[in-house]
Amino acid sequence: MRNPVIEKVTVNIGVGEAGEKLEKAVTLLERLTGSKPVRTKSMKRIPAFGVRPRMFIGAMVTLRGQKAEEFLKRAFEAVGKQLREKSFDRFGNFSFGIKEYIDLPGMRYDPDIGVFGMDVCVTLGRKGYRVRRRLIKPAKVGSRHRLTRDEAISFIKEKFGIEVV
């Protein structure tokens, strides 16, 4: 019960506009992950960028289980197996960015798609965290069972051989 686990990996590409560019991002995410992406909407109006509320401006996909671990291994290769310590939050979750998808091993540049970067967000937890999300009688996770930043860093170092700078 005390061993940390990867709950989910969320991969997000924000393009800032709808249309052809968004469709290219969706196809890229589908190729990278093998899962069907979801389009994300804007929440507010930004006239300088021509963004209106509820306008599709990005795409994301959530990976769990074996798919999540396989994608994480490839993503860590793209960033040189290094993460910054400030990428981790107090609860052990962390995020990092990939500047171009061609940095991922096994990916080649496709002129039809162009170049996109992406954000990778990893949610870590322990067995038993379900009690806070269940529908019937949800409860708090005890402070001694919560994952801390230091435990998450040591877990990532052991499991993936990542250097935290």
Look at residue 16 in the predicted model and tell me its pLDDT. Answer: 86
Look-up of token digits 């080649």: 108
- CATH number 3.30.1440.10 given to 4-164: yes
Residues 68, 65, 83, 114: what is their CA dihedral angle, to the nearest 10 degrees? 10
Look at residue 60 in the predicted model and tell me its pLDDT. Answer: 97
Domain boundaries, the chain: 4-164
Q: Let me know if 59 is exposed, middle or buried by CB neighbors in 10 A (0-12, 13-18, 19+).
A: buried
Q: Per residue in 82-117, pLDDT tens? A: 999 999 999 999 999 999 999 999 999 999 999 999
Separation CA 146–CA 150 (nearest Å): 12
Separation CA 106–CA 128 (nearest Å): 36
pTM for the full model?
Answer: 0.91
Rg of the Cα atoms in the chain? 17
Look at residue 51 in the predicted model and tell me its pLDDT. Answer: 87
Look at residue 50 in the predicted model and tell me its pLDDT. Answer: 86
- The segments of the chain whose pLDDT lies below 50 read none
- DSSP codes of every residue in 28-80: HHHHHHSS--EEEE--S-BGGGTB-TT-EEEEEEEE-HHHHHHHHHHHHHHTT
Look at residue 59 in the predicted model and tell me its pLDDT. Answer: 97
